[in-house]
Amino acid sequence: MRTHYPRFLDFIKASAAIHQYQRELDGEGFICANGQDYDLARLCFLRLCSNKYMIPLTINQKKILHIFESQPGLKGSVTKLHPAMSFLSDRALQTNLQLLTKYGILQIETENDSWNRDIEVYSVTDSYKPNEKINIPTFEKLNDHTSVPSIPTTPSVSSMHSVPNKNQIDSEDTEGVEQGNRIQTEESTVEEFIADNSFIHRKV
């Protein structure tokens, strides 16, 4: 949808421009689009992108896809599929089948014919679902705030910092114990040093 969003906005702008005499103007004289422009752009977009992949298909590509959808499990080479898709030449049919494969709607498998030659066989991908169409809400549905879930509140930053957690308490206790051990170690080290070097004072 991210790549098609500017196109959707262009549809809204085009509808507002066509109906400019029925639209209001802002303080700077610009045409203000309304909900009717949104709904007209929605119809144009759904007409153009008839599949969930949001890929614009030509009339012939839609016909090819409709034949695959009406005959589940249909699989075949260009030669085998051409009688059912005679509205195109075999060369044009192969080109459109390759484009649908590039779009991820069809897939190609390699099989052997009766002469044990490798041929390309086209079929619908397993991930493609004919009944899954792109759905864009109407302008009225967008303004329906009753279906919008409430956002749960989160504790403030000050309240989160006011209550120390267990790891913080354990860390402070550990630091206190380590500091006390260092003081005791330093004191015992000084005492041992004085005891070991007491002969210096005796000689002097």
Q: 91, 108, 11, 96: which is closest to 62 by C-alpha?
A: 96
pLDDT at 172 over 90: no
The pLDDT of residue 136 is 85
Burial track 75-92 (b if 16+ CB lie within 10 A, e otherwise):
ebbbeebeeebeebeeee
pTM over 0.75: no
Could you tell me which residue, 43 or 51, shows the higher pLDDT? 43
pLDDT (average), residues 70-84? 93
Considering the chain, what is the average pLDDT of its residues?
A: 76
The pLDDT of residue 50 is 65
149 neighbors 143 (Cβ within 8 angstroms): no
Confidence of residue 76 (pLDDT cuts 50, 70, 90): very high
Q: Looking at the DSSP assignment, which residues form a beta bridge with residue 108? A: 122
Could you tell me which residue, 196 or 203, shows the higher pLDDT? 196
pLDDT at 63 over 90: yes
Angle between helices 5-18 and 35-48 (to 10 degrees): 130
Task: Just give the CATH number of 57-132.
Answer: 1.10.10.10
Q: H-type helices in 86-203, by residue range?
A: 90-102, 139-142, 157-162, 166-196, 198-203
Confidence of residue 19 (pLDDT cuts 50, 70, 90): very high
Question: Within the chain, which residue ranges are assigned CATH 1.10.10.10?
Answer: 57-132
Q: Distance (Å, rounded) from C-alpha 139 to C-alpha 97?
A: 36
The pLDDT of residue 2 is 64
